[in-house]
Structure 1
Amino acid sequence: MTRPQSDIDAVEQANTAFYEAMERGDFDELSALWLDDEISCVHPGWPALSGRGEVLRSYALIMANTEYIQFFLTDTKVTVIGDTAVVTCTENILSGGPAEDGGELGPLVGQLVVATNVFRRTSDGWRVWSHHASPVLTESEEDEENGPS
């Protein structure tokens, strides 16, 4: 296996680990996947967050308020240049809020998000440097019926 392909494989594994930690709600594993300094994150609809404290607090908040989340990644592309890697993908997200009074999972909601994950190579492997996710806006049926404005 060539070195560039092994780098791509390692970045793909780190990217998969990032989403799997979110799905399991494993805050400790998620924290370990991020660099120790100079990190940034933009969640859909949120302001830009910077620094390890702000970024990890945001994930703790999301995990505390999300009973169920699953990511189906599509259109994944990995580029590695030196010790930096960029992963672009579409996050097809299925999530549910905390249980309602009856003890059942809250309603499931689907969301389509495009994401860019930037990784940096460290002595401990590839670590997340930045995550930026933006919602994909789709036209509603009403917009389609009325045509462009």
Structure 2
Amino acid sequence: MSRTDIEAVEEANTAFYAAMEQGDFDTLSALWLEDEISCVHPGWPVLSGRGEVLRSYALIMSHTEYIQFFLTDTKVALIGDTALVTCTENILSGGPSPEAGELGPLVGQLVVATNVFRRTPEGWRLWSHHGSPVLTDSDDEEEEGSG
């Protein structure tokens, strides 16, 4: 049974997040196109080109002890050799704590993401990733109270 294009895109999208969770930089690198890529992490400026984008992931991986993504609201749109995936990243992460060898407190974060894939002879590859934080009611209350 052959996979549909949408299933193949969903698989590539899942592999992207799995590589992040596992801290597998080589797999993550292989999932991106070779040129003309871009990435926006929440709160970061636009990163363009393979060097800048992959350096950002190396930096994130080196400073993140634990990260897990629970994807919800995933939608795939496909036009020709381009696929657009939108989803909500429910992120649980933690960094090193001051006590050596122990994981610091886990932090939850909600990010909406758009991942654009292009079809290549090697399969679907990331062209662009854009993540934007989702403000929750508690974020609004904190901002109002701090003004």
The question of a shared fold, defined as TM-score above 0.5 by the shorter chain, is answered with yes
Cα 1:143–1:103 change in 2 (3 A) is same
Q: Does 1:44 align with 2:30?
A: no
Letter in 1 for 2:92: L
With normalisation by structure 2, the TM-score equals 0.92
- The equivalent of 2:8 in structure 1 is 10
- The equivalent of 1:117 in structure 2 is 115
The within-5 A match list for 1:70-89 is: 70-89=68-87
Deviation at 1:138, TM superposition (A): 1.2
Deviation at 1:140, TM superposition (A): 2.0
Aligned residues: 143
Letter in 1 for 2:27: E
| Equivalent-residue separation in structure 2 for 1:124 and 1:60 (angstroms) | 23
Deviation at 1:100, TM superposition (A): 2.6
Letter in 2 for 1:126: W
Unaligned runs of 5+ in 1: none
Letter in 2 for 1:9: E
Q: Does 1:66 align with 2:64?
A: yes
- The equivalent of 1:92 in structure 2 is 90
Runs of 4+ in 1 over 4 A off after TM superposition: none
Deviation at 1:141, TM superposition (A): 7.8
Deviations 1:45-101 (A, max 9, x none): 000100000000000000000000000000000011100000000000000012432
Deviations 1:80-125 (A, max 9, x none): 1100000000000000012432421011000000000000000000
SS of the aligned residue for 1:35 comes to coil
Does structure 2 retain, via aligned residues, the 8 Å contact 1:67–1:99? no
Letter in 1 for 2:126: V
Deviation at 1:29, TM superposition (A): 0.3
Unaligned runs of 5+ in 2: none
Letter in 1 for 2:107: V
